Amino acid sequence: MMCGGLSDAQNAHAEIQKISDTVKPQAEQKTGNTYDVFVAKIYSSQVVAGTNYFIKVHVGGDDYVHIRVFQSLPHVGAGAELTAIQVSKRLDDAIEYF
């Protein structure tokens, strides 16, 4: 991965699901929706002064959202923050920078 570039897409794992769960209330607030399903499927990351995670999240049926979550460096002590969300996504939509 190039410094500052977006990593290749990978299958989500437990840590990515935990990050997604942390920002779920923020996603619901930004979209005005309540998600009964919120399962991280695929993600890419970008190293900045912390890490941006671009995560494809299944929200039920054929619907997905893409979320961008910023996780600051550990010494800062801040939690994960939802910085952007894209709705009306599908399983085959690529994860790209937004």
Averaged pLDDT of the chain: 91
Q: What integer pLDDT is reported at residue 10 of this predicted model?
A: 95
Listed residue (53, 62, 41) closest to 83, CA to CA: 53
Q: With 0.85 as the threshold, say if the pTM is over it.
A: yes
Q: How far is CA 16 from CA 32, 50, 53, 95, in A?
A: 23, 15, 8, 15
Q: How far is CA 31 from CA 3, 21, 66, 93, in A?
A: 32, 16, 12, 19
Domains of the chain, earliest start first: 10-89 (3.10.450)
Among 14-18, 29-33, 63-67, 75-79, where is mean pLDDT lowest?
A: 75-79
Q: What is the pLDDT of residues 8-49, one digit of tens each?
A: 899 999 999 999 999 999 999 999 999 999 999 999 999 888
